[in-house]
Structure 1
Amino acid sequence: MNFDQRDQEGLVLGVPRAAFRPSPIFLALVALFVTSGVLAWNGFGNIRLDVFLFVVSGWLVSLCLHEYAHAVVAFRAGDRSVAHRGYLTLNPLKYSHPLLSIILPVAVVLLGGIGLPGGAVWIDRHQIPGRLRHSLVSLAGPATNVVFALLLVVPFAIGVDVFARPGFWAGVALLAFLQVTASLLNLLPVPGLDGGNVIQPWLSAQWRRGYDLMAPYGFLLLFALLWNPTVGGWFFGGVFAIGDLIGLPDYLYADGLRLIRFWQG
C-alpha cells in the first residue's frame, strides 16, 4: 500500500495505522517458528518434537500470510472493511472460525500430510470495481503458497548437504510439500475455494447464481473429490510431479511427515 497517502491524524487511506500492525499472536508464531528451526538445526533435545513445532508453526505462519495476501490486495482494490475486521494484522483468530481455520488444517497436516486450505477473509465485493480485481484478490492467497514453495526448495536446488542436519531439512522439505499441496488445492476450480473465486467474476449471470449456491459447500465438495480414487490419484500425481519438477526430494518430505508424528514413537 502507498503509505505516503496519510493524513495528519495518522490514518492510511482513512484507516488507523494500528490496523496494519502485526498482532502479538502472529509475532509469537514467527518466534516459535524461528526458535524451533534453530532447535531442529542444532538437534537440541527431542528432534521429533523440534521438527513438529517447526512444521506446525511454519504452516500456521503461511496460513496467516495467505489470508493477509487476500486482504491486502482487497484493501488496495477498494475494500476498506478488511482493515476494520483485523485481517491486516495477520492474527489467525481473525480469519473465519478457529476450528476450520486452524485446528482442522493442522490436524489434516499431521494425519495426512496435506496442506488443506484453512481460514478465510470476508471480502466486500461490492466495494471492488472490475472483474480482474476480484480475480486478483482470490489469486493472491495461492500465489503466496507458490512463492513459499519455491523459496523452500532453493536449498535443495543449490545442493545443500541434507545429511548434515537431516531433521531440519526433512522439516523444510515437508513444509515445501505442504505448500505445493496447498497451491494446487486452492487453485482447483471448486466453488467457494480460491480457484473457483478466480473464475467466478467471469461467469454468466446464470452460472454465477449456481456458483453462489454451491460456494458454501465447497469444502465438502473438495473432500468428496479427493475421496474419489480417480480424482484423488490425479491430484496427488500432480503434487508428486510438481515436487519432482522443482527438485523436492520425496524421501525427505516423507521423513519429515514421519518425524512430526512424534507420538508414534
Structure 2
Amino acid sequence: MTTATARSRERRISPVFLAILAVMAVTGWAVWTDFAALPGLAVFLFVTSAWVVSLCLHEYAHARTALHGGDVTVGAKGYLTLNPLKYTHAALSIVLPVLFVIMGGIGLPGGAVFIERGRIEGRWKHSLVSAAGPLTNVLFALVCTAPFWLDALDGVPPAFRYALAFLAFLQVTAALLNMLPVPGLDGYGVVEPWLSYGVKRRIEPYAPYGFFVVIALLFVPAVNGAFFDAIDALMRALGVPEQSRYCGSELFRFWEGTPEFCGV
C-alpha cells in the first residue's frame, strides 16, 4: 500500500459518523416539519445526534491541529475519520456526555484523543492543540444561535427554535467547562506549556482527578449558581431567550411532559 493511499484511508470519513449525521438530518427535518407524532421524541433524537456530532468534531479539531503541529501519528489512530469508536476513551468521550445531557441537561466535556506531545515543538502549538476542541464548541454554539442574534426567526417553527436553543446551551456549557484551567481539562492544556517545570511536576499527580473535582463542585449550590448565572449571561448575549432554552430542555426530556406555554 502506498503512503498516499494509506493517508487517504486514514482521513476517510467513517460510516459511523455519516450514520449519526444522517440521524441528525432526518430528525432535524422531522422537528422542522412537525412530521413526528411525538415532537419531543424528534427533538430528543435531533439534539442527541447533533450533540454527538459536535463531540466528534471537538476531538477531530484536537487531532487535526496536532497533525499540523507535528504529530503525524493521529491518522493511524483513526482520529481523522470522525469515528467516535476510535477515541482513546470512547465511553468518556461519547457515552458519559450523552448520559449527563439526558440526566442533567448539561454539556459535559468528553474524553480525549491521545496526542504524542513530544512530536510537537513550540508552546503556542501545544496551546492551540488544546484550545481547538473548545473553540469547535464555540463555533457550533454560534451556528445554533445565528437565527437568534441575526433576528432571523421568522418562519422557524417553535420546536426547532427550542431545539437549537437547548443545543446551543449544551455547547456553551461544554466550552466554558472545558476552558477552565483545571488539570484534565483543555483549559489547563492551554496554559500548561507556559508553566515552569517545577509547577507542572507539583500539579501532575492531581491531573487525573481534576475533571471529577469540577463535576463534584457543580453539586455545591453556590458554585452551581455562579456557573449557570454565567451560562445564562452568555446565552442572553447570544440573543437566546431563557424561555426558548427552557422549552428546548423540556421537549428534550419528553417523557416528563412539556409545559403548555411552550406552544408545542
Fold shared, TM-score > 0.5 on shorter chain: yes
- TM-score of the aligned structures, taking structure 1 as reference length: 0.92
Q: 1 CA distance for matches of 2:15 and 2:200?
A: 39
Q: What residue is the counterpart of 2:197 in the other structure? A: 205
* Mean Cα deviation higher: 135-144 or 150-159: 150-159
Q: 1 CA distance for matches of 2:108 and 2:183?
A: 15
Kept after mapping to 1: 8 A contact 2:69/2:125:
yes
Q: What residue is the counterpart of 2:216 in the other structure? A: 224
Are 1:136 and 2:117 matched, yes or no?
Answer: no
Q: Kindly report the root-mean-square deviation, in angstroms, between the aligned alpha carbons of the 2 structures.
A: 1.6
Q: What residue is the counterpart of 2:165 in the other structure? A: 173
Which amino acid letter does the alignment assign opposite residue 73 of structure 2?
S
Q: What residue is the counterpart of 1:22 in the other structure? A: 13
Are 1:11 and 2:4 matched, yes or no?
Answer: yes
Kept after mapping to 1: 8 A contact 2:145/2:239:
yes
Aligned-pair distance for 1:258?
0.5
Match of 2:34 among 40, 43, 57: 43
- TM-score of the aligned structures, taking structure 2 as reference length: 0.92
Q: 1 CA distance for matches of 2:224 and 2:188?
A: 18
Q: Deviations over 1:64-113 (max 9, x none)?
A: 00000000000010001111110000001112323222121111112211
Structure 2 CA distance for partners of 1:79 and 1:252, relative to 1, 3 Å: same
Q: What residue is the counterpart of 1:186 in the other structure? A: 178
1:74-89 pair list within 5 angstroms: 74-89=66-81
Q: Which sections of structure 1, spanning at least 5 residues, go unmatched? A: 1-7
Q: 1 CA distance for matches of 2:91 and 2:40?
A: 25
Identical pairs, percent: 52
Which amino acid letter does the alignment assign opposite residue 108 of structure 1?
F
Q: 2 CA distance for matches of 1:117 and 1:21?
A: 25
Structure 2 CA distance for partners of 1:214 and 1:162, relative to 1, 3 Å: farther
Match of 1:249 among 237, 241, 252: 241
Q: Which sections of structure 2, spanning at least 5 residues, go unmatched? A: 258-264
Aligned-pair distance for 1:164?
5.4
* Mean Cα deviation higher: 203-212 or 190-199: 203-212
Q: 2 CA distance for matches of 1:127 and 1:161?
A: 47
Are 1:111 and 2:88 matched, yes or no?
Answer: no
Q: 2 CA distance for matches of 1:142 and 1:223?
A: 17
